[in-house]
Amino acid sequence: MNFPLGVLAAAGEQKLSLVQIWSLATPEARVIIMVLLVFSIFAWSTMAAKAVQMRRAKRLNFHFEGEFRAQKAVLDIFQRRLEVDGCPLFSVYEDGCREIDARVNAPDGSRKVHLSLKAVEHIKRALEGAVARESLRLESGLILLAIAVSGAPFLGLLGTVWGVMDTFGGVAVKQKADLAAMAPGVSAALITTVAGLLVAIPSMFGYNWLVHNLRVLTVELDNFAQSFASRLETEFLKEDE
């Protein structure tokens, strides 16, 4: 590897700056760093978007759950034709109410007071499907963070190994191994590992925080579905069934 004489002279008097290290990096290392930069942009964008989404979902869930507990009949909110975008609990509630509404409407235009056990079980399965769908919607995008956490350090290590290999190749060509000749190349090689860690570490903390919030929201969805099913049975299922 050929190092600029001016850079090497400056390196002998003071520490190498990031600009100087970048100038010493191999083309392969620069490509890897650019890829890691793209990873970082996607990771931070995902963390910001998911944090806003989950925070909004928590706030809306809290208000909707209070409204749901206060209603006298299961279909009260549904019959008011409300729309609550971004609220996972409302999406589950709306799917369940659609199934109920479709089954209480008789062919002659009247409305049934009670539902069969088979119909209630079908509505429960619809609730389970809605919970699974909302969980997947909340989880979407987290794969990008998982890739950044697991892949960024290895990309950085690849750049470092490649740079060190190139440095030793240059030393072998010159047949001269001293610290002044090797240190700049090794420093330039190590910058890719630093870049990989700078991408992976924030992504790891963000991923763990988002996964924790996702679990909390999923438990809330499951609990709400069970509460909905209990009120459904109390209101629409006959006592003798």
Q: Where are the domains of the chain?
A: 16-236
- The two tokens of residue 13 are 């008097």
DSSP 87: -
Q: What is the pLDDT of residue 239?
A: 64
What contacts 24+ positions apart, CB below 8 Å, involve 148-153?
148/39, 148/40, 148/42, 148/43, 148/199, 148/200, 148/203, 149/200, 149/203, 149/204, 149/207, 150/200, 151/39, 152/36, 152/39, 152/196, 152/197, 152/199, 152/200, 152/203, 153/193, 153/196, 153/197, 153/200
Q: What is the pLDDT of residue 175?
A: 64
Question: What are the mean pLDDT values of the chain's consecutive 10-residue runs (241 residues total)?
Answer: 44 57 75 91 94 94 91 88 87 92 78 84 92 93 91 90 76 63 70 90 95 94 94 80 47
Q: By C-alpha distance, which of 240, 33, 63, 50 is closest to 157?
A: 33
Q: By C-alpha distance, which of 194, 184, 183 is closest to 159?
A: 194
Q: What is the pLDDT of residue 138?
A: 92
Residues in the chain: 241
Q: What is the pLDDT of residue 109?
A: 67
Q: What is the pLDDT of residue 84?
A: 83
- The two tokens of residue 180 are 């002044």
